[in-house]
Structures are given as structure tokens and as C-alpha cells.
Amino acid sequence: MLKTRSNRSFTVLLIVFIIQVLVSMLKFYAWRVTESNAVMTDALESIANIIGGAIALYSIWLANRPADKEHPYGHGKIEFVSSGIEGGLILLSGIFIIGKSIQSLVVGADLPTALGFGSALVLISGAVNAILSFVLFREATASNSHAIKASAVHLRSDVLTSIALLISLGILYITHLAWLDPVIAIGFGCLIVYQALKILRESLGGVMDESNVELIIWFIKNLETNRRDEWIDLHNLRIIRYGSTLHIDAHLSIPWYFDIRQGHEIVEEIREVAIANSKQNIEFFIHTDPCIPDKQCEICSVENCMQRQAKLVNKVPWNPANVVENAKHSLNTAL
């Protein structure tokens, strides 16, 4: 199933890449026709789209290779590197656009030509990118791929840029103010830089194994919904995404008198709960801890416990704040 999904993602990304090359050619033709700085920003950004798409293709292929001796956690982190490179390319194109536009503003800009025909070309390229962005967002959701999501976000920003560009060309057509062209291009350049920095920030967080609160909320919500009495306390939870695979690390407190077989069965129960509510591959490293009878009985709901030393007062509800603590929990404090 995962192999089929990987092949589908690669195929979708390859088709999008080929179409992006054609769209880029259309944008450069629009730039040649109009000689507009604003249209130039759209055309130059498409180069980043193409290079980023090629890198994303390679990263998807590599990320879905199985784990081996040299890469025991798999190859999924290449997706963060891929999106980081794409973000860097977008950043460079944004800086170049701003510099070129400032130069045109200082030297003096001519009024763009053939604005009507150029606007039609921009409209066509924007419509195609809107469709491609929709396709990539669906595929990113289905495959949980960071690289595909980065490409989808980039294309969506490209669509918004095209919409703003059409409005700007309309203003130029009405006002005939040549200096507006480089000014508008500078505005687009700043927007591109902002989008690039956002992609770079997310990529850096992935490379550095930054905590993903959304994944933690998803995991503990499923556990709370299916929580067993023997699952006394969850702590030291860590979730890391490597491509389409989630690596889940946690400590789970269970009754101290349970044997190894019973502890293993509880871990398997948690695995089944997580897998049943996820479309991606999950690798577990769950360590079972014995409960502390004189301090955790008040949060334990195991019925007919012959070792109970205090009555149940209230179970500790799991939330993103307390499950990541590297300490067992009692009624009011961490142990």
C-alpha cells in the first residue's frame, strides 16, 4: 500500500513538473511581449518552481526507500532538505527581482507594451497553476509529504501573485504610469521573500526535529478516546516525522505487577489504536514503566487492584503540555 502511494506521488509530481515547464515558457513569452518588470517577477519565480520541482521529484523517490544499515530511520528527512532548497531558490529570485526593479526605478522605466495580450497569458498560467496547486495539496494530504506540501504552497502563492499581477497590469493599462511597474514588482519581490522565509523556517524546524504540536494532539486525542484503565500515565512523548513515516517515542506507566507479556500486549493495543486512525506508516518505541503505588494510586482507575494503597481520586487527563514532560505524573505533581 505504501509502495503504491509512493509511486502515485512520484507520478503526480512528475506530471506537474512537466506542465510547470510549459507554464514557465508561457510566462517568459509574456515577459518578452510586455517587457514588464512585474511580469518578469512572475517569470523568474517560475524558474524556482522548475528547479524545486526537480529536487522534490528526487526527494520523493529517495524518501520512500526502505530503511537500511546506514539509514536506520529511513530517508524521509530528505524532504525537509528538498523544501529548504526550494525555499532558498525562491528567496534568491525574490532578492534578484527587488534589485532589478530598484535599478529600473532609478534609471527610469518604460511603459510595458501589449498589456492586454500579456494579461491573457498571465491569466492562463495562473489558472493552470491553480489546478496544479489543488492537485498537489490533495496528494500532500494523502501522502503526508512535506516536499509535496512545500511545492503546493509555492504554487498557491504563485496563483495569488498572478491574481495581483493581473490587477496591477489593469492599473497600468488605465493610468499609463510607467513608474508603477517597477514599484509593483518590488512589492511582489517582497512577498516572494516572505514566502521563501516561511518555507525555510518550516524546513529548518523539520531538520532539527522541532516538536509538532498538531501530531501530539492527534495522538493523545486518539489515546484518550480509546483509553484503557491499565494505561495509567503517559509521559516523555516525542513524535518525529520522517517523510511519510511517524516515529513515536513515549513512556507509559502500567501496573507494577504486570509481567512482560502483559506489558507487550498493552503496547500492541496502543499501536492498533494509532494505526487505525492514521493513513501513514508508524514506528513505535514505547517504554513501559511500573507505576508507583504510594504516589500514583490516586490517578489509577484499575478496578479490583489487590495492590491499591489509596482510592482513585481522578485520572490525569493527557494534554500537549504534560505528555511531553520527562516525568511520571501523580494527582497534583510530576514525579
From the list 214, 208, 268, 262, the residue with the least C-alpha distance to 84 is 208
Q: Are residues 197 and 248 in the same domain?
A: no
Q: Of 207, 234, 264, which residue sits at a domain end?
A: 207
101: domain CATH number is 1.20.1510.10
First-last CA distance in the chain: 43
List the grid coordinates of 234. 503517559
Residue 22 has pLDDT above 60, yes or no: yes
- pTM exceeds cut of 0.75: no
* 282, β-bridge pairs: 246
Q: DSSP string spanning 104-152? A: HHHH--PPPS-HHHHHHHHHHHHHHHHHHHHHHHHHHHHHT-HHHHHHH
Number of domains observed in the structure of the chain: 2
Last residue of a domain, one of 148, 173, 207: 207
The reply to whether 29 and 104 lie within a common domain is yes
Domain end residue (candidates: 180, 207, 234)? 207
Nearest to 199 by CA among 308, 279, 94: 94
Indicate whether 189 and 246 sit together in one domain. Answer: no
Range in 97-101, 138-142, 197-201 the model is least confident about: 97-101
Q: Does one domain contain both 14 and 151?
A: yes
The pair phi, psi for residue 40, each rounded to 5°, is -60, -40
Instruction: Measure the CA–CA gap between 158 and 41, rounded to whole angstroms.
Output: 10
For 110, half-sphere exposure in the C-beta direction (CA atoms, 13 angstrom radius) is 6
Q: Which amino acid, 279?
A: K
Name the helix (H) or strand (E) containing 245: strand 245-254
Widest CA span of the chain, in angstroms?
89
C-alpha cell at 299: 490517578
Name residue, grid cell 528527512: 77
Q: What is the pLDDT of residues 205-235, one digit of tens each?
A: 877 777 778 889 989 998 888 999 999 999 9
Instruction: Name the pLDDT band for 252 (thresholds 50, 70, 90).
Output: very high
Query: Are 220 and 202 in a shared domain?
Result: no
Return d(Cα 132, Cα 152) in angstroms, integer: 8
Q: Do residues 154 and 86 make contact, with C-beta atoms less than 8 angstroms apart?
A: yes
Q: Which domain holds residue 51?
A: 2-207
pLDDT over 80 (residue 98): yes
CATH of the domain at 325: 3.30.70.1350
Look-up: residue for cell 532589478? Answer: 100
Q: Under DSSP, is residue 177 helix (H, G, I), strand (E, B) or coil?
A: coil
Distance (Å, rounded) from C-alpha 209 to C-alpha 206? 5
Q: Reply yes or no on whether the pLDDT at 274 is more than 70.
A: yes
- Contact by Cβ (8 Å): 221, 296: no
- For residues 157 and 287, membership in a common domain is answered with no
Residues 43 and 185 in one domain: yes
Confidence of residue 110 (pLDDT cuts 50, 70, 90): low
Do 202 and 320 have their domain in common?
no
What is the tens place of the pLDDT at every residue in 28-85?
A: 998 888 888 778 877 877 887 788 788 888 888 887 777 788 887 777 778 788 878 8
Dump pLDDT digits (tens) for 128-142.
Answer: 999 999 998 888 887
What average pLDDT does the segment 308-328 reach? 89
DSSP string, 201-254: HHHHHHHTT---HHHHHHHHHHHHHT--TT--EEEEEEEEEETTEEEEEEEEEE
